[in-house]
Amino acid sequence: MKKSLIGATAILLLAGCSHQAEKVEKESETIHSETVQDTEQQQHPANHEKTESSLTLKPEFFNEIEVINQVPTITNPENLLVLVNKEYALPADYYPDDLVRPNVTFAFGDQDIEKSYMRKEAANALEGMFHAAQQEGIELLATSGFRSYDTQNFLFQQEVENVGAKNAELAVALPGKSEHQTGLTMDITAESVGGMLTEEFENTKEGQWLVSHAHEFGFILRYPKGKEEITGYQYEPWHFRYVGTETAAVLAEKGWTFEEYFENVEKM
């Protein structure tokens, strides 16, 4: 009987030691894990602050507005994140001073014309995107980039004559309120739709490639389907706007339009 008690006591003691050892081991693992996390955060703070920092912007990236002739007019149009829409207009005399012709394939060939130009940073990004697409067997065609105030006015008046003023405003921006005047936009098409700007582009392999990859090069689909009430324009699967890779990544992740982005982003 005494031996049995001694044996039982030994088993309990051993069980207690085992439990204690497991507890110490778990505490050690927790401490190690927390230490590793702290070290990683010190070495890569951006990884832990990405969500927060991606929704803040320096003040210079917001529109600066002055009401001119009763129209809210942007006074810092050179801003790469300038928000141009039916509410905010560009000055009539704004003409980007860094326009270049990107080395990409155009639907109209080698013609050196106004709409073949973009601002330099956007043009470089467009070249990278077209090259990446080509590497995957996707042949894109650029069709309309920069558009001056006067050109936009001419196009708008043409549309008014064709479909009336009310319908014209759904498809064509008023002069001063077109993103094309920023020099940061390019309309893109493909031979699969005859080089046309049509909603059918969304069903092509080229259109689908752009939707999946444009943000990797800093471009956003500016007027997406289902967001017409927010953007003020009909769906345009061909209209891509350069905003930089960081901002484009946020919009892609959140499923936001450019308007929605500025409703959520805050000044630093």
Tokens at 178, concatenated: 């077109």
**Which tokens in the block code for residue 143?**
């069709």
Low-confidence ranges of the chain (pLDDT < 70): 1-54
Per-residue confidence (pLDDT) for residue 168, from 0 to 100: 87
Both structure tokens of 72:
């809210």
The two structure tokens encoding residue 21: 């050892």
- Pairing mode, strands 141-144 and 236-242: unpaired
- In one-letter notation, the amino acid at residue 1 is M
Residues 236-251: pLDDT tens digits?
999 999 999 999 999 9
Pairing of β 56-57 and β 266-267: parallel
Distance of CA 118 to the CA centre of its chain: 17
The separation between the first and the last C-alpha atoms of the chain, rounded to the nearest angstrom, is 78
- Geometric angle at alpha carbon 121, from 115 and 125, rounded to 5°: 85
Structure tokens belonging to residue 60: 């210079």
Taking the C-alpha atoms of residue 181 and residue 149, their distance in angstroms, rounded to an integer, is 7
Beta pairing class for 99-100 and 118-119: antiparallel
* Token duo for residue 201: 């582009």
H helix intervals, 104-244: 120-135, 149-163, 165-171, 205-213, 228-231
**β-bridge pairing 99-100 and 141-144:** unpaired
* Model pLDDT, residue 53: 52
